[in-house]
């Protein structure tokens, strides 16, 4: 079994606080994916520092292969002491899912993880032990495709206290709503946005505590291949296309010249989709490819959507734009929701279509777009490879 995870998180700052006291780290090793959610004591600057230190220490040590025991003991001796409570305090949840399908979950004082499998909330079998003076809960299990884990800070189950609800949104209520959400979508980004959006509504848009939800969904490895820009040498057209088509996964071509190169190699034609309306150039169809778009304008708009998503300043309404029928939205949606690994096949040739009004060719346009795409995809937790021709 070779699994990966579709992961995403979203936070709400406590009302009138500029910094969030929760912190999420999503990490990758050669053998696993790791999600860490830390909640610093209190709110504001102090809580943000505590949460950041906690997540960074745990993440760094786990990436270096250290055990959870060593990481927690290091936390106990490293975090600063609260001057009032006289304790170094931050809660955390750690989820590690190995590519083999084995999962390890450890929790310290955070609300328990919601685990959804095959349309049901399933109670996890935890054991407890003392590590470095902290009582932690642990669970090991073998995951299945589409298993969904929801990690949260305690702000998520206090939503609505004294406002809409007498005692807040209980863990059970949160679990039931999460299960309901999975009936309409299995996308981790959409689930995280929907759950935090519900918390925001219960807080009447004035969160009484920092609130964070991190979602990890077990999926198969998903590879997305993007070819843009003709090679420097015409003789390399077939070399690029041969390697592009040989790579497993979905195939996307961006650019008119690139589309023609692909069509020639596949011995077919480019068929424009003229029924598309709007300010984004229409897509096209080439038999054997999953998506064919225009080049610079479409890549630029797709990058705008990707950066908006990466900014964390999104809500459920963002997905309306992501669901649009234009090429930029389709490309951004594939990268966000249907990709664990991104392979970029990039030609370096000058293209006369990119001459500016002064007749000067700006080769940096495509180069800069590709580099930005590389960076934002990495920020989104994708494994990105790039090859130039």
Distances (CA, A) of 160 to 80, 175, 193: 31, 16, 18
Position 253 scores a pLDDT of 98
Position 316 scores a pLDDT of 79
Give the mean pLDDT of 327-348: 95
116-130, 183-197, 349-363: least confident range: 349-363
Q: Is the Cα torsion angle 2, 8, 327, 145 positive or negative in sign?
A: positive
Give the burial class of 338: count Cβ atoms within 10 A of its Cβ; 0-12 exposed, 13-18 middle, 19 or more buried.
Answer: middle
Helix (H) or strand (E) holding 23: strand 22-28
Give the mean pLDDT of 150-167: 76
Q: What is the pLDDT of residues 253-284, one digit of tens each?
A: 999 999 999 999 999 999 999 887 788 999 99
C-beta separation of 140 from 127 below 8 A: no
pLDDT greater than 50 at residue 147: yes
pLDDT greater than 50 at residue 354: no
pLDDT band at 347 (very low <50, low <70, confident <90, very high): very high
Q: What is the pLDDT of residues 57-104, one digit of tens each?
A: 999 998 888 887 888 888 877 776 666 666 658 899 999 999 999 999
pLDDT band at 357 (very low <50, low <70, confident <90, very high): very low
pLDDT greater than 60 at residue 162: no
- In the chain, the N- to C-terminal Cα span, in Å, equals 34
Position 89 scores a pLDDT of 81
78-92, 105-119, 287-301: least confident range: 78-92
pLDDT band at 360 (very low <50, low <70, confident <90, very high): very low
Q: What is the pLDDT of residues 276-285, one digit of tens each?
A: 778 899 999 9
Determine how many CB atoms are found less than 10 A away from the CB of residue 252: 23
Mean pLDDT, the chain, rounded, equals: 89
Position 345 scores a pLDDT of 97
Report all structural domains of the chain as residue ranges with CATH numbers, in order of start. 3-219 (3.60.40.10), 223-388 (no CATH)
Position 359 scores a pLDDT of 36
pLDDT greater than 90 at residue 353: no
pLDDT greater than 70 at residue 203: yes
Position 74 scores a pLDDT of 86
Please state, in angstroms and rounded to a whole number, the distance separating the CA atoms of residues 159 and 203: 5
Whole-model pTM: value is: 0.83
Position 270 scores a pLDDT of 96
pLDDT band at 314 (very low <50, low <70, confident <90, very high): confident
Q: Is the Cα torsion angle 166, 167, 168, 172 positive or negative in sign?
A: negative
């Amino acid at each position: 079994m070779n699994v990966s995870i579709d992961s995403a998180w979203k936070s709400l700052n406590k009302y009138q606080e500029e910094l969030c006291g929760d912190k999420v780290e999503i990490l990758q090793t050669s053998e696993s994916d790791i999600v860490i959610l830390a909640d610093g004591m209190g709110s504001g600057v102090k809580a943000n520092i505590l949460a950041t230190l906690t997540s960074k220490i745990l993440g760094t040590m786990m990436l270096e292969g250290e055990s959870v025991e060593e990481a927690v003991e290091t936390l106990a001796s490293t975090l600063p002491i609260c001057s009032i409570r006289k304790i170094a305090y931050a809660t955390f949840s750690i989820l590690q899912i190995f590519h083999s399908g084995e999962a390890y979950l450890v929790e310290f004082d955070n609300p328990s993880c919601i685990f959804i499998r095959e349309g049901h909330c399933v109670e996890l079998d935890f054991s407890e032990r003392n590590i470095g003076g902290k009582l932690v809960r642990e669970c090991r299990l073998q995951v299945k495709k589409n298993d969904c884990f929801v990690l949260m800070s305690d702000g998520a189950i206090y939503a609505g206290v004294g406002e809409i609800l007498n005692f807040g949104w209980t863990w059970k209520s949160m679990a039931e709503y999460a299960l309901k959400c999975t009936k309409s979508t299995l996308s981790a980004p959409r689930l995280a946005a929907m759950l935090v959006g519900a918390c925001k509504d219960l807080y009447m848009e004035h969160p009484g505590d920092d609130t964070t939800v991190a979602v990890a969904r077990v999926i198969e490895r998903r590879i997305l291949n993007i070819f843009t820009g003709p090679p420097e040498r015409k003789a390399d057209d077939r070399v690029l296309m041969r390697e592009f088509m040989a790579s497993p996964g979905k195939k996307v071509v961006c650019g008119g010249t690139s589309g023609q190169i692909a069509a020639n190699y596949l011995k077919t034609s480019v068929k424009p989709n003229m029924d598309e309306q709007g300010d984004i150039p229409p897509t096209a169809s080439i038999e054997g490819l999953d998506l064919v778009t225009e080049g610079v304008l479409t890549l630029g708009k797709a990058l705008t959507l990707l950066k908006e998503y990466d900014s964390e300043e999104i809500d459920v309404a963002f997905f309306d734009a992501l669901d649009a029928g234009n090429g930029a939205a389709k490309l951004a949606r594939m990268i966000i929701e249907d990709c664990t690994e991104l392979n970029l096949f990039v030609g370096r040739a000058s293209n006369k279509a990119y001459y500016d009004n002064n007749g000067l060719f700006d080769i940096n346009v495509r180069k800069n777009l590709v580099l930005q795409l590389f960076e934002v995809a990495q920020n989104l937790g994708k494994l990105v490879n790039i090859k130039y021709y």
